[in-house]
Structure 1
Amino acid sequence: MTSAVWHPFFQHATEPDPVRAISTEGAYIRTDRGPLLDAVSSWWVVTHGHNQPQIVQAICDTAGHLDQVIFAGLTHQPAEDLASALVGMAPAGLDHVFFSDSGSTAVEVALKMALGYWKHEGDGRNRIAVIEDSYHGDTIGTMSVGERGVFNAAYDPLMFGVDRLPFPVGDRSNTLDAFETLAATGKMAALILEPLILGAGGMRVYSADVLAGLRAICDRHDVLMIVDEVMTGWGRTGRLWACDHTGISPDIMCTSKGLTGGVIPLAATLASGRVFRAHHSTDRRRTFYHSSSYTANPIACAAALAQVRLWQASPMQDRLDALETMQGERLAGLAEDPRFENPRQCGTIAAIDLKVPEGGYLSEVGPRLRAHAIDQGVLLRPLGNTVYVMPPYCVTAADLDKAWGAIASFQV
């Protein structure tokens, strides 16, 4: 196949031609090679299912009378209604919503908000703390606060330094002790983290106690907490937000991916009144200078609002609980298989590692497993030797049997 397209995270010199998608519905993508069970929610974005009728209708209704309008100095009802809904659903104290267009951008916005806060408060704080193996996106700021490695080695001259905390292991005190020491210096502007589970960093899971402990340290030393709920939000960890497992409220929270049900790009960065007020001034130099051309696109906002209403009107917690149980049962079926190790689960997300001599993101077992799964009618996207299943919430028990069956039938 001859194509002008340059695909993301895709090595054109070694990969076979991409599978061509034709249509989508529910948990499936119909392709030129037959139907594929979307066991990774198309990069973790699809929540209620592909082509969810209410979301599609909201897009059609809005596109018929309102398309893109500049959001600097103008507003519109889809954005106003969505912002109000998000504030009502978010952890307490996140009262201001800044719209953007992707998870990476939402995190860039959060970092700029945090640094702007301390600049405007007249404090010299400018250090950012992160947890090792984290991933927050592929723009310069988000790469800087993510793990350094194969994803971003070529761009190292562009990135700024951060303070790295060890991933929580054992009794988890290693992370808390390290952050306590850093926070006590008085130089920490913010801590940014993926709550409870690292996504691209290998689906590594840590306890809610650590999350609560990090919040307590932020409170003691007046450090802003930024929570990246781009992947974890909208039910992936078994609750609406991963923060809900502890009841903590961050100072800034990022959401995208499932925000529109995975139908159309949109992101939001929610901030506390404290952060907003630091930028609110008759001195125009304290304006928050960030935007993108499609900020708060009305059609995307309408899609997100339809998704929110689905969440509010449906017994979503029951659905999440059922999916968590089904995932756990199938993960347990591979736990004793000698080809696998380190089974783990966080809500609706289940992961396990293939035992191979060469692990890590560049492990050759990943592309082989991906190809095998496609032959079995399942879309998987292993992180090297880590294989995970993160399906849309409309998935059935039979669908999950198909996904885990494809994993079990793979010969290392």
Structure 2
Amino acid sequence: MPVGAALWRNLRAHQVYGANTDVGKTIVSTVLCNAIQQKSQAAFLKPVSTGALDDADDHHLKRYGAGTIAKCLYQFDEPVSPHLAAKNKLIRDEDLLASIHKTLSGWARSDVDFALVETAGGVHSPGPNGNSQADLYRPLRLPIVLVADSRLGGISSSISAYESLLLRGYDVASVLLFRDNYYKNHEYLREYFQKKSIPLVSLPAPPARPSQLDADARVRDEEAMLDYYRKSAKESEILHLLEQMSVNNTQRVERLEEMADRAHDLIWYPFTQHQGMTAKDITVIDSAHDDYFQTLDNRSEKAEGELRPTFDGSASWWTQGLGHGNPELSLSAAYAAGRYGHVMFAGAVHEPALSLADNLLQTIGNPRLAKVFYTDNGSTGMEVAVKMGLRASCDRYGWDASQEQIGILGLKGSYHGDTIGVMDCSEPSVYNKKVEWYRGRGHWFDFPLVKMVGGSWKVEIPGELQADLGENINFTSLGSVFDLSQRLESATAQRYKHYIRQTIEDLVQRQGMKFGALILEPIILGAGGMLFCDPLFQRCLVDVVREHPELFSTAAASRQSPSWSGLPVIFDEVFTGLYRLGRPTSASFLDVHPDIAVNAKLLTGGLIPLCTTVASEEIFDAFSSPEKSDALLHGHSYTAHAVGCTVAVDSLKTMAKLHTDGSWDSYRDDWRSNSSSSAASTPDVWSVWSHSLLQDLSCADSVESVFAIGTVLSISLRDADGGGYTSNVAKGLQQTLAVGSDQFNVHSRVLGNVLYLMSSVTSKPESLRELERLLRSALV
């Protein structure tokens, strides 16, 4: 379970990191604690200690700390790295972090007002499980006291340690090291850190330890150290530093507390009606790690600190794939920023863009696709896709879009972005109908929905379509819904195809409409309300469009090609693509290959904006001409930015590994065991959300229906007024999750009467099960 980031109003808690091993971390800690002890109570925590007990760091603080409270959580006798010392003892990282947080919380409730948590070795020395300490302790995000290295080579190791901490989102509050008049590292580093507004304090070197520690020598050594600590603790720089650490702690809390009010005054929020909105409605996020925000705790009793772990239940608007603060992706971004910064892309190429194009085409596995066009987000990526599709159709059929309106075919509830062009590719809705330039050019089919109701899966046919499409259909499992090899032979498929063909004939021949592309969000229509479309209907729609080009133009029969037929098929996989639904592409569920595919959201694992629009060679050729004006004249200044492309390459590689290395097997097994169909004959369809949760929720009185696939869970609540985007019925559940449990609360988004939750592809099962417990408690 997660722990909150460690912040208390009345406890100045810091973590002591060393630039290397044997740089004097414990001596620095003892100096600071001695200085504090002159006015108040200090405490020292050593999470993991190795070596002889007499030399243990917490014992040193008990001996020389002038009354400092000292504690060690895990002590190992063997004087080796913690990962070797603890090899025969299971110490989970989560348990270690929880113990640290619990200890600090206890001190915060006592008279302790200053605490140090000291690491072992250097910044990247491994913890008990072999993970770098910089990553292990990151969820706590304590401000850092960095003990620099005063020895030969210490300048380099100190700066490297600082940059490693900075890369992981730590705040380095101060730097301390011993003065050495030969190497004079303190002089160089003082100037270096001064430029970064980080105070550096240099201390006199401690007295040398006698080589032979007989009884007399031991007494003299102890007296020398006591004298050293008494003098060092009174140095003005140390006293000033401690005062500044206190001020920094107070200011950090105060900044957090005033952020909501300042944001309410200064910021215009997306998708938000500000009338009636108050500062209390704004979530204040201090940091984020893994699946959790660290948010300001607004409860009256904050026994665990000022911050609280909050599960990111919308995956930060569907972008999170590999967790917040992922150190590997951060390192990738830093590398690309250092190597390239940003370089223009028109008429040029760099390795990250080329590598991503190769990798993406392999991941998608669509033999039609050949050319990768880069944009910055899903909406602009879809703008490009529409330009591609319409140009290809007009070029083939001899249409002049400046003289006649060319529309698109799609589904009701679709939404492809907030830019003006793709707004017109959606039916009138709350998102677009009040936008002054909106025209809505196209036709949008109503369609059957997949949902679980009363513990059973069904395909629900809209009432007004039942005369054409038949009655609702029940299924034994979600996998059987996706068994298109069987369902395409059914009478339902024939009804679907007949209805689609007749509708298009009427639109074109009787109403005179022209269509330039078919645009679909495969499987789930996201912004429209998490609508789970019957995959058979989408497959039939693609098949009819491709198998009957004569529906769209009298010239169609003589101008077909081995590539696209009828209309270019565009798949908007901005939301559903790249493992969001448990597969590399959502197109694979339909067993069809689009002519154009758009991916964003998970493309960079949730770190940085980037989008790709991938097209077939023939779509590309529609723009080929001696005239510059016939080219695809679209782009932006940061097209194919190297930072985003580098991160995307690593993100795709990581997700591909998770897809094949068994990381998701327990989820697959859960769904297979709850399927009455043969595992060999049923498509591999599963979710990180347990099958039993869906069964329980689908039987709840307040729940109309549910579904889950991949990382997505959708809960439709009953609304006597019919539901829809303007419904407020899901607000109560959203508020219940916002209160949460003692372990964490949940930040979620609602779409009218639908509350959805989304995990990353790396979410921990124990977090998901606790979240499921909250849902059951609220609804069942």
Measured against the shorter chain, the TM-score band is over 0.9
| Shift, 1:316, TM fit | 5.0
Report the AA paired with residue 100 of structure 1.
Answer: T
Counterparts in 2 of 1:24 and 1:75: CA distance versus 1, 3 Å: same
DSSP-derived class of the 1:285 partner: helix
- Residue 2 (1) aligns with residue 256 (2): no
Name the structure 2 match of 1:78: 352
Counterparts in 2 of 1:5 and 1:242: CA distance versus 1, 3 Å: same
2:774 corresponds to which of 384, 406, 411 = 406
- Residue 96 (1) aligns with residue 371 (2): yes
2:746 corresponds to which of 369, 378, 381 = 378
* Structure 2: gaps (5+ residues): 1-260, 298-307, 449-460, 462-471, 473-491, 550-565, 668-686
Counterparts in 2 of 1:298 and 1:325: CA distance versus 1, 3 Å: closer
Tell me the percent identity: 31
Report the AA paired with residue 262 of structure 2.
Answer: T
The 8 Å contact of residues 447 and 537 in structure 2, kept in 1 or not, is answered as no
1:195-210 superposed matches below 5 A: 195-210=522-537
1:332 corresponds to which of 688, 695, 707 = 695
| Shift, 1:66, TM fit | 0.7
Q: Please identify the structure whose Cα radius of gyration is greater.
A: 2
| Shift, 1:50, TM fit | 1.5
Counterparts in 2 of 1:242 and 1:306: CA distance versus 1, 3 Å: same
Find the aligned partners of 2:348 and 2:436 in 1 and give their Cα distance.
38
1:348 corresponds to which of 704, 711, 728 = 711
- Residue 27 (1) aligns with residue 291 (2): yes
Name the structure 2 match of 1:132: 412
The structure, 1 or 2, with the larger RCO (C-alpha pairs under 8 Å, 6+ apart) is 1
DSSP-derived class of the 2:287 partner: strand
Find the aligned partners of 1:45 and 1:77 in 2 and give their Cα distance.
24
Find the aligned partners of 1:384 and 1:62 in 2 and give their Cα distance.
41
* Structure 1: gaps (5+ residues): none
Name the structure 1 match of 2:124: none
Name the structure 1 match of 2:500: 179
Report the AA paired with residue 66 of structure 1.
Answer: Y
Count of residues paired in the alignment = 412
2:319 corresponds to which of 45, 64, 67 = 45
1:364 corresponds to which of 728, 737, 740 = 728
Counterparts in 2 of 1:278 and 1:204: CA distance versus 1, 3 Å: same
1:200-349 superposed matches below 5 A: 200-220=527-547, 221=549, 222-315=566-659, 318-320=662-664, 322-323=666-667, 324=687, 326-349=689-712
The 8 Å contact of residues 571 and 597 in structure 2, kept in 1 or not, is answered as yes
Q: Could you give the per-residue CA deviations for residues 16-63 of structure 1, whole angstroms, max 9, x where no partner exists?
A: 431111111111111112111112211111112212222111001111
1:111-190 superposed matches below 5 A: 111-121=386-396, 123-124=398-399, 126-155=406-435, 157-168=437-448, 169=461, 170=472, 171=492, 176-181=497-502, 183=504, 185=508, 187-190=514-517
Counterparts in 2 of 1:336 and 1:368: CA distance versus 1, 3 Å: closer
| Shift, 1:175, TM fit | 5.7
Find the aligned partners of 1:306 and 1:315 in 2 and give their Cα distance.
14
Find the aligned partners of 1:131 and 1:327 in 2 and give their Cα distance.
29
Q: CA RMSD in A?
A: 2.3
| Shift, 1:190, TM fit | 0.7
**TM-score, normalised via structure 1 length:** 0.93
Find the aligned partners of 1:328 and 1:342 in 2 and give their Cα distance.
14
The 8 Å contact of residues 256 and 267 in structure 1, kept in 2 or not, is answered as yes
Find the aligned partners of 1:385 and 1:110 in 2 and give their Cα distance.
31
Report the AA paired with residue 520 of structure 2.
Answer: L
Q: Could you give the per-residue CA deviations for residues 75-103 of structure 1, whole angstroms, max 9, x where no partner exists?
A: 21111110111111222211111000111
Moved more, 380-389 or 326-335: 326-335
Report the AA paired with residue 364 of structure 1.
Answer: N
Counterparts in 2 of 1:381 and 1:94: CA distance versus 1, 3 Å: same
| Shift, 1:205, TM fit | 1.3
Find the aligned partners of 1:24 and 1:79 in 2 and give their Cα distance.
28
Counterparts in 2 of 1:317 and 1:237: CA distance versus 1, 3 Å: farther
The 8 Å contact of residues 583 and 659 in structure 2, kept in 1 or not, is answered as no
Find the aligned partners of 1:219 and 1:232 in 2 and give their Cα distance.
23
DSSP-derived class of the 2:362 partner: helix
Q: Could you give the per-residue CA deviations for residues 139-179 of structure 1, whole angstroms, max 9, x where no partner exists?
A: 11222112322112211543342112112334476764443
